[in-house]
Every structure is written in structure tokens, then in C-alpha cells.
């Protein structure tokens, strides 16, 4: 009986979190559908091959709004590299894209405060640029040798919950605009939704579990062990498969329990950008040195941005735990229920 009661309380917490975020999820998917119609990855390949800094900057800029997971971005990045993008630009795209996206930005607004909503994509952008530049200056680049991501790529993508058709989808420009818009909506609320659904539901459940089971106040421990809390989030996020959208409710639940926002940001950056499958694919697409640069820069940048975020909250006198989830209060309950 006690087990059933506990499970009920966890599910109740998860359901409340889901209600808070449902409207913003639908809006995020809508914007993703519009991007699918008008954003053409093949048009930017020509800009990503020459130079050590400019292609990295452009690939990160183009990658920020695209809603692809850490495995789903692999075939797109492989295509960019095969068409002449240098290794730094490809790595930059692989980091910037899964760390954010219009759907995850919408969910961040629903579950996190405005500071986190703004800092998250900015931190992802900075991490992507830093990694790409480091790869172009310190890595082993071989632009004359095409990448070899095909070997086992579909198996790896399938193993992390991302369909290759969804992640590498390319639209046709010849179709009439109304048909393209309809296809964009079908992609957003069909392929993209089904691709995100499983990890997102798991993330919502984990958030409910955290809300129910963790002590009411982790603030004292987090303040006394700021660096340790960030390392713990880094260790949890790197091997774990969690997309930018599904990582948001987990981070929100941890912040509500008192975890410092900097540690939560580390999880939001490291979790979506890496997982065990992606690590092996990066090694296969590039080389061991590129993998070391990839993981090292994500780790260093995530922790650095975490410390910076904690300083911003401290300097502004804002308590992150007191503002998380307030944006969802503007949505009436009937609208939340209908969206859910």
C-alpha cells in the first residue's frame, strides 16, 4: 500500500510539471515546424569550409534554433563535413544544436526564470564556438579526407532514441508554400514530437521523482560544495542520453530543491550535448584528439558558465528557486489541461 501511495505522489508531481510545460511545448513545436520549412541546411554548407573562426561562428549561429537531439544532429553534421565544412565548424554545430532549440527555449521559459532562459542558449553558443576554434587550432584537421560516419551510424542513432529520417530530414523547395507549411506542421507534431516524446516523458517522471524524494532544501549543501555540485551534474550529464527539452524539467526540479543554478546549467549544457553513443560517433567521424577536445571544452565551458551564472544571481540578489516556474502562472488551468 505504501508503494502505491508513493508512486501516486510521484505521478501527481510529474503530472503537475507536465501541465506547466504543455502549452509551451506546443508553441515550440510550431516554431520548429516553421523553421523546418524555411531553414535550408544545404544552403549554408558553402560558408563553413574556409577559415578557423568564421565557419565555427556561423555553424553555431545556425545550430542554436534547430531542434535536434545529440544523436540526431550527427547525420546533419556529417553531411556538412562531407560537403566541405571543416572539423571545427562540424563540432561547433554538433554542440550548439542539441544544447538548445526553439522547443527547449519555450520549455525553459515555462519552467525556469528569464535569466536561465536567456543564459542557456548564450552559454551553448559560447561553448560551441570555443570548442570549434580549439579543434581548428589544436586538432588534426584533414579536409581532403571525407568523414566516415556511415559505418554503424544508423544503429547508433536508433540506439539513442532518434530516428534517422527525422533527424536528417531535408525538405524540397519545389513544393508550393501551403504544402510546405503543412509538411512542416506534420514534421513538428509528427516526427519531431515522436522523436522527443520518450526522453521527454522520462525527464518529466524523473523531475517528479526528484520533487517527491529529495530533501526540501539542498541550498546549504549546494552553497558549501558549489564546485562539487557542478562536477556531479557534469558526471551525470555526459554519459546520459537526455535532450535539451527533457533535461529542462529535471533541472527545474533540482533548482526548486535548492541546487545552485550554476550546477543546473552544467547539466543543461553537458547532458544534451553528449551521451555514450555520441562520444563513440565523434571518435569515428573525427579522431581521438577531436574527442578529447570535444569533451574537455564542454566540461570546462559548462563549469565556467555555471560559476558565472551563480555570480549573476548573487550580484543581482535574485534567488533562482523563488522564480522557477512563475512564467507558467499566466496560463489558465483549462488551457494547460487542453494543451496537455
The parent domain of residue 94 ranges over: 7-339
**How many structural domains comprise the chain?**
1
At residue 30, the pLDDT reads 83
At 257, give phi and psi (nearest 5°): -85, -5
Angle at 61 between CA 73 and CA 125, to 5 degrees: 85
Q: Which residue in this structure is represented by grid cell 515555462?
A: 110
How many CB atoms are closer than 10 A to CB 144?
A: 5
Contact 72, 241 (CB under 8 A): no
Asked, for residue 1, whether it belongs to a domain, the answer is no
User: What secondary structure does DSSP assign to 63-103, as a single string?
Assistant: HTT----TTTHHHHHHHHHHTT--HHHHHHHHHHHHH--HH
Asked, for residue 214, whether it belongs to a domain, the answer is yes
Tens-digit pLDDT profile for the chain (340 aa)? 778 888 888 888 888 878 877 877 787 778 777 777 776 655 555 566 566 888 889 888 888 887 776 666 776 777 677 667 788 888 998 898 888 877 788 888 878 888 888 999 999 999 999 999 999 888 875 544 444 444 444 444 444 555 444 444 444 556 788 888 888 888 878 877 777 777 778 878 887 787 777 666 666 777 778 888 899 889 888 887 677 777 888 888 888 888 889 999 999 998 888 877 778 878 888 888 999 999 999 999 999 999 999 999 988 887 776 555 555 566 788 888 898 8
Asked, for residue 280, whether it belongs to a domain, the answer is yes
Exposed e or buried b per residue across 42-78, where buried means at least 16 C-beta atoms within 10 angstroms of its C-beta: eebbebbeeeeeebbbbbbbbbbbbbbbbbbbbbbbb
Asked, for residue 2, whether it belongs to a domain, the answer is no
Asked, for residue 70, whether it belongs to a domain, the answer is yes
At residue 163, the pLDDT reads 46
Alpha helices in the chain (DSSP H): 2-38, 41-44, 54-63, 73-82, 87-99, 102-111, 114-138, 153-159, 164-167, 177-186, 193-213, 219-224, 226-237, 244-256, 261-273, 276-285, 288-316, 320-323, 333-339
Amino acid at each position: 500500500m505504501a508503494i502505491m501511495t508513493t508512486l501516486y505522489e510521484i505521478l501527481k508531481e510529474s503530472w503537475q510539471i507536465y501541465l506547466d510545460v504543455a502549452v509551451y511545448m506546443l508553441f515550440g513545436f510550431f516554431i520548429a515546424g516553421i523553421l523546418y520549412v524555411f531553414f535550408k541546411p544545404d544552403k549554408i554548407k558553402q560558408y563553413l569550409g574556409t577559415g578557423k573562426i568564421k565557419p565555427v561562428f556561423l555553424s553555431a549561429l545556425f545550430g542554436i534554433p534547430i531542434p535536434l537531439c545529440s544523436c540526431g544532429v550527427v547525420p546533419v553534421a556529417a553531411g556538412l563535413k562531407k560537403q566541405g565544412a571543416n572539423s571545427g565548424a562540424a563540432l561547433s554545430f554538433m554542440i550548439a544544436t542539441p544544447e538548445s532549440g526553439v522547443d527547449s527555449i519555450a520549455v525553459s521559459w515555462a519552467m525556469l526564470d528569464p535569466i536561465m532562459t536567456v543564459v542557456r542558449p548564450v552559454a551553448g553558443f559560447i561553448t560551441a564556438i570555443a570548442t570549434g576554434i580549439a579543434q581548428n587550432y589544436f586538432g588534426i584537421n584533414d579536409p581532403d579526407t571525407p568523414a566516415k560516419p556511415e559505418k554503424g551510424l544508423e544503429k547508433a542513432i536508433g540506439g539513442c532514441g532518434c530516428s534517422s529520417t527525422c533527424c536528417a530530414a531535408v525538405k524540397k523547395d519545389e513544393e508550393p508554400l501551403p504544402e510546405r507549411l503543412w509538411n512542416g506542421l506534420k514534421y513538428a507534431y509528427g516526427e519531431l514530437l515522436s522523436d522527443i516524446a520518450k526522453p521527454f516523458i522520462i525527464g518529466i517522471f524523473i523531475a517528479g521523482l526528484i520533487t517527491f524524494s529529495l530533501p526540501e532544501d539542498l541550498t546549504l549543501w549546494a552553497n558549501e560544495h558549489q564546485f562539487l555540485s557542478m562536477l556531479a551534474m557534469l558526471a551525470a550529464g555526459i554519459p546520459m542520453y537526455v535532450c535539451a527539452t527533457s533535461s529542462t524539467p529535471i533541472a527545474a526540479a533540482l533548482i526548486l530543491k535548492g541546487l545552485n543554478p550554476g550546477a543546473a546549467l552544467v547539466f543543461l549544457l553537458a547532458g544534451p550535448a553528449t551521451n555514450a553513443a555520441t562520444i563513440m560517433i565523434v571518435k569515428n567521424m573525427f579522431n581521438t584528439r577531436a574527442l578529447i577536445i570535444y569533451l574537455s571544452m564542454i566540461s570546462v565551458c559548462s563549469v565556467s558558465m555555471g560559476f558565472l551564472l551563480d555570480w549573476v544571481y548573487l550580484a543581482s540578489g535574485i534567488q533562482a528557486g523563488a522564480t522557477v516556474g512563475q512564467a507558467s502562472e499566466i496560463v489558465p488551468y483549462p488551457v494547460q489541461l487542453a494543451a496537455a
